[in-house]
Amino acid sequence: MTTTDSTSPAPSGVEEVVLLDEAGHRVGTAAKADVHHRDTPLHLAFSCYVFDSAGRLLLSRRALDKATFPGVWSNSFCGHPAPDEDVRDALHRRARQELGIGLRDLEPALPRFRYVAAMRNGVRENELCPVFTALTADDVRPDATEVADTEWVPWAAFRDEVLAGVRDVSSWCIEQVTELARREVGPGRFATAGWTELPPAMRPRPRP
């Protein structure tokens, strides 16, 4: 794995992730293709839970040829902000790329969520991965290279199935749903956090 400091340009076309210290400060970058292995360094990511106006949650199944956790059902979408990319832009970008949807009412819900997850082959995820919620009214048009399938589910039923251990979803989704349930104020609605509660490396810059 090759890491660079915050001023070193990445090779053209190489997707990078932001490496972090334990306090959530940026300490460098690394090529996304190289960062996931048995000793994955802590890096910055995000998860988003997208709802419709009826309070249904959009679930997605990871593409079968994904390098990590292929074929696993999980939250609406995940991603990594690029170095120096505003997190809001990253979330909107990823929603369009993976699902072909626009987002509104985007809010941080679990600003300091962190998890580690290992596949059977020993490859690990190790992410500081704030969780966001959003709404959409768009038809879902998933990118088959990223998403194998999607499903709209009533939040309450999904939450109860996850908490009861009868819904097969990713390990990070189980942890996130457990925490989101504690912050629930209505179907698909949660007590939100402030943007300043995000890790230092993810706090958005003021808009002009």
Helices (H), the chain: 32-35, 87-99, 155-164, 171-182
pLDDT averaged per 10 residues, the chain (length 208): 40 81 96 81 96 96 86 95 96 98 97 89 88 98 96 97 96 96 91 95 82
**Residue 11, pLDDT score:** 45
80 marked ligand binding residue: yes
* CATH classification code of 43-113+125-197: 3.90.79.10
- Tell me how far apart the alpha carbons of residues 88 and 129 are, in angstroms, rounded to a whole number: 14
Catalytic residue among 127, 146, 173, 175: 127
**Which residue in the list 16, 48, 78, 129 is annotated as catalytic?**
78
**Is 85 annotated as a binding-site member?**
no
In degrees and rounded to multiples of 5, residue 163 shows phi and psi of: -65, -30
Please check if 25 is assigned to a binding site: no
pTM (two decimals)? 0.91
Q: In the prediction, which pLDDT does 207 show? A: 66
Give the residue carrying structure tokens 């696993």: 72
Please indicate if the annotation marks 92 as binding a ligand.
no
Is there a catalytic annotation at residue 16?
A: no
Q: What is the Cα–Cα distance from 165 to 82, expressed in whole angstroms? A: 34
Model pLDDT, residue 208: 62
Residue 48 tokens read as 């988003």
What is the per-residue pLDDT for 7? Answer: 35
Residue 48 among the catalytic residues: no
| Annotated binding residue 36 | yes
Nearest residue to 129 via CA among 81, 169, 189: 81
- Residues 47 and 80: beta-carbon distance below 8 Å: no
